[in-house]
Structure 1
Amino acid sequence: MNDSSKKHDVALNVRSTVASYMMYWRKLCLEVSILISSGIVAVSTFGVDKAALSIEGRWGLIIGFGVAAAAGSYLILKASRLIQELRGILVRVDRYDELFVDGAFVPGDSLYPKSWENFDAVGMDFVPKWSIALMAATWVTVSVLLLIHRAAA
């Protein structure tokens, strides 16, 4: 095995490992948001007798749910930064493998779109944004329902 072949094999192994980590962290973002959102709905729906709950108790629940959503958002933002770092590693490996070079694999064109080479190191992709939006929407909806239920009582 020559040196170039060995480097290529290492690059492929790195790419495979990093892609697996990216999928894991994306999945974790979704799981955190679903777990927290489900917990908010479960506690507010089944765990609390809303008819007997005072306004202070309702505000306590709203604040507690907000803290849970904020903690989940913090974890998702940390995971998103890691996903961006992993994406940067993938771009470096793909540059090494000449996947962005015109004519390297496809005559007159690159294998990957040029836009994939310019990753945003501080931006977030769709999955973490959606995960945070899910928790925020659940928190706001449940909070409004808790307050409306009290006003109607």
Structure 2
Amino acid sequence: MINSSVDKLTRSTNFLRFLGQHALIAQEESPSTAGEEEIEDQKYHFVSLMLNLVNTFLYMVNTYIIVPTADDYSVSLGAASTVCGVVIGSMAVAQVFSSVYFSAWSNKSYFKPLVFSSIVLFLGNVCYAMAYDTKSLTVLIVGRLLCGVGFCKSCQSPVH
């Protein structure tokens, strides 16, 4: 009975190890190289965390500042007040299409899509802000589209 229990436990442990390896869960490494890689991982995680915080901040700015003021902003550029729906909705439309691409890209790597989305989200907010100076509704909508492309929900997690 004891031998049967040991065999059962050995098979379940081997099965769990097999699942872990195929789920890309890293095994513990030897202590000699773990210290060097741990320092590099901490730097990598810090940059990833900062990018996530910046992305989240910019997205919250879009949600809580830009969306409520989009109507007045569009009207100040000479557009009809009904264009506000296009301005607000353009971000969501861009997110629908970009999320498929970012989902596939972030399955291979998290850091590069996160950097790319941060840059595009920043550029989108700059375009949105520059629309008033250029008096261009096109720049306004392009800025919102870039914000939609730049917000990568599949890239964001606390630590990559």
Instruction: Work out which structure has the larger RCO, using CA pairs closer than 8 Å and 6 or more positions apart in sequence.
Output: 1
Q: TM class, shorter-chain normalised?
A: 0.3 to 0.5
Compute the TM-score of the two structures, normalised by the length of structure 2.
Answer: 0.35
Bigger helix fraction: 2
